Amino acid sequence: MNFRFGLRGKFVAALVLVALAALSLAALFAARAVDHIREELGVAYTRDLTLLKQARITAPLTRDLALALRMADSEPIRQWLLDEQNPEKRASAMREVEGYRAAFESRAAFVISALSHNYYFNSPRAPFSDRPNYTLDPEHKPDDAWFPSVLAMSTAYDTNVSYDTELHVSSVWINVLMRAGEQRLGLVGTGLELTRFLDAFIADTQAGVTPVIVNAEGAILAHPDRARISNQAATRSVPPEHQLWALVDAGESADSARKALAQAQAHPGGAVPIKLTVQGRQVLFAASYIPDLQWFVLSIVDLGTAQVLDGRQLWQFALAAGALFLIAALLIAWVVNHLVVAPLIALKNSAQTIAAGNYALSLQASGGDEIGELGVAFAAMVDKVRRHTEELESTVRERTAELVAANTTMAQANAKIADSIAYASRIQQAMLPVQALARALGGRHYLLWRPRDVVGGDFYLFHTTDRGFLIGVVDCAGHGVPGALMTMLGNAALDRAIAEVGAADPAGILRVADRALRALLHVGDRVRGTATSMDVGLAYVDTDASRLHFAGAKVELLIAGAQGATRLPGARRALADRVPGEFENVGVDLDPAVTYLLTSDGLLDQNGERDALGFGRARVQALLQQYASSPLAEFGQALEAQLEAYQGGVAQRDDICVLAFRIGPLPPADHPNRVG
């Protein structure tokens, strides 16, 4: 019997073989590409997840630490600790403590007197009380032995995790030293309850992801499986099943985990994922270190379970590849039919009509052989294309509606972000001493504070004394929200320095603030390229002695009058720079006929539309000379007009803060000077 393999059979067989070969190669390369992408995404996901978890822990600690530092500078609390039995001072201090307590994350605050050892603690657990919860006895109670060592600390604050046996609460404690000059009055601060703090850490655990917190000894403090968590308050001896090494396979994996912890401890703020085995499965492991708590934040990610790569995207890719292969096969079929099967002219013309979009065309079979069967198959294909087109148009309409809804959601989110930044701007402006400047100097000062964004990294300060006043301009690294956060830290550091050394010593203020910022920002450990420095210019006007004392950190004092212009340069190093600066006071006699001006580099470095160079010091001094005998308001109008004309259509490149002032006619020598 003769077996006839027809034209359709040959063509279909060839097409199937080619398609299978192409699909096999494509599937092989796609599988390798997907594995590589999954591994790369897994490494980035593990690193970012670890740093995100660390940030969620350190963010409330940083915020509460800044509040506790300001609380330690509270004058009502200081006066009360000096006279603890005074009921009026007690009431005033407790109102101050309650204000800070309401702002703390845990709504808890404490004050410990170094004179009486009385411990005052208020939290949402119990009604408010202005009486001590208990009195520390370090000599007879071992649990109170921590107090003298913390009180004698050389730094401004201390953080630790411990269990208070009197309050029956295990917390992350922030202890800030309160002083009166050189005298140590006691400790103030807050405590974040450890259970809630760690529960929030693992609250959003995803499948295949195991977030863990361990201490320096490897004891597990937080884990999705509560049976593995070590109770530090109960015992100092941690069983093996409550240690990190119970999670990691012994041998090479355990050694790799120890090396990762050592590397994280040596480089806080970083996280480098490594591969190791946990219970026989290969996972990605990353560690990040929190020096203030001596904790390690760990992420263990099982790439076989975690949703690192969205499976729906793979299916969409596979469907798209299949569609491309189908289109290619149809194209090959059309070409072969057109070139090889010459008698199919009518079918070719019909195909051209259908390609023009006329799916209503009726195709007739030209015979009972392969050509006729091909005509029938082609008619069926046309019907499927029509139905697929209708389905595609319906899908496009649905996707368009989803896109419109997504855009609406994004617009609402952007509006909320804009509202939040605007509120942050109001908070930042509330920090600035606008009213104090107006009361003290009135029309004898001019101020231009113009952040590049809604909030910025520039601010100014003003403090009055019995003999005169301290005035200054500060330029923090960064713009927008990061710069605004730096202004809060910088303002707190300068306020504390002024309280410590007094307003009459600008250089001393810079030295104390520099030390505080270095300790707070860990300048020596920060990653190269991370900008956390501050440029500062401070001038103390001693109206009694008719002298001005200036000290600057990369900020200079411009002095100009009708007779000429000069300047007092600042130090070459900024505060919190990698290399510590040397700050010295420079004194000059007060001159009622000149104008004194402090400015951040945002004004001097602003480039113009026609000139790529900065606005420059020379233009500012020329304007100061030109308007030496005019009111400062006219000088300010001229400066802003010239800056706008010079800038043109060029965007503002940095935050701008300009503060100019005059002393006015000086009173006789035998008449005491007063600000204002």
- The overall pTM is greater than 0.75: no
**Confidence check: pLDDT of 675 > 50:** no
- The answer to whether residue 412 sits within a structural domain is no
Q: What is the CATH classification number for the domain harbouring 131?
A: 3.30.450.20
- The answer to whether residue 629 sits within a structural domain is yes
- The answer to whether residue 424 sits within a structural domain is no
The overall average pLDDT reported for the chain is 83
Residue pair 125/168 in contact (Cβ under 8 Å)? The answer is no
Phi, psi values for residue 154, rounded to 5°: -85, -15
Percent over 90 (pLDDT), the chain: 38
Provide the 3-class DSSP secondary structure of residue 290.
strand
- The answer to whether residue 607 sits within a structural domain is yes
Query: Any idea how long the chain is?
Result: 676
Mean pLDDT computed over 547-554: 96
Q: Look at 380-384, 523-527, 529-533 and tell me which has the smallest mean pLDDT.
A: 523-527
Using H for helix, E for strand and C for coil, what is the string for 11-29? HHHHHHHHHHHHHHHHHHH
Q: What is the pLDDT of residue 673?
A: 32
pLDDT digit string, tens, across residues 271-285: 888 888 887 788 888
Mean pLDDT computed over 458-487: 92
Angle at 508 between CA 507 and CA 511, to 5 degrees: 90
**Looking at the 3D structure of the chain, how many domains does it have?**
2
Residue labelled with tokens 């080619």: 18
Helix/strand/coil percentages in the chain, nearest 5? 45, 20, 30
How far is Cα of residue 397 from the mean position of the Cα atoms in its chain? Answer: 39
pLDDT digit string, tens, across residues 208-265: 788 888 887 788 777 777 777 765 533 456 787 778 878 888 788 888 888 888 888 8
- Last residue in a domain, options 196, 218, 251: 196
Cα within 13 Å of Cα(466), Cβ side: 0
Q: What is the identity of the amino acid at 640?
A: E
Element (H, E) at 313: helix 311-340
- The answer to whether residue 238 sits within a structural domain is no
Mean pLDDT computed over 58-83: 90
- Last residue in a domain, options 163, 180, 196: 196
Q: What is the CATH classification number for the domain harbouring 585?
A: 3.60.40.10
- Last residue in a domain, options 196, 215, 249: 196
**Confidence check: pLDDT of 619 > 80:** yes
pLDDT digit string, tens, across residues 487-512: 999 999 999 999 999 999 999 999 99
Owning domain of residue 155: 72-196
Q: What is the pLDDT of residue 400?
A: 85
Q: What is the identity of the amino acid at 118?
A: N
Cβ-based neighbours of 298, under 8 Å, separated by 6 or more: 50, 211, 212, 213, 214, 244, 285, 286, 287
Q: What is the pLDDT of residue 404?
A: 87
- The answer to whether residue 345 sits within a structural domain is no
Closest CA to 576 of 543, 533, 542: 533
- The answer to whether residue 253 sits within a structural domain is no
Q: Look at 90-99, 310-319, 350-359 and tell me which has the smallest mean pLDDT.
A: 310-319
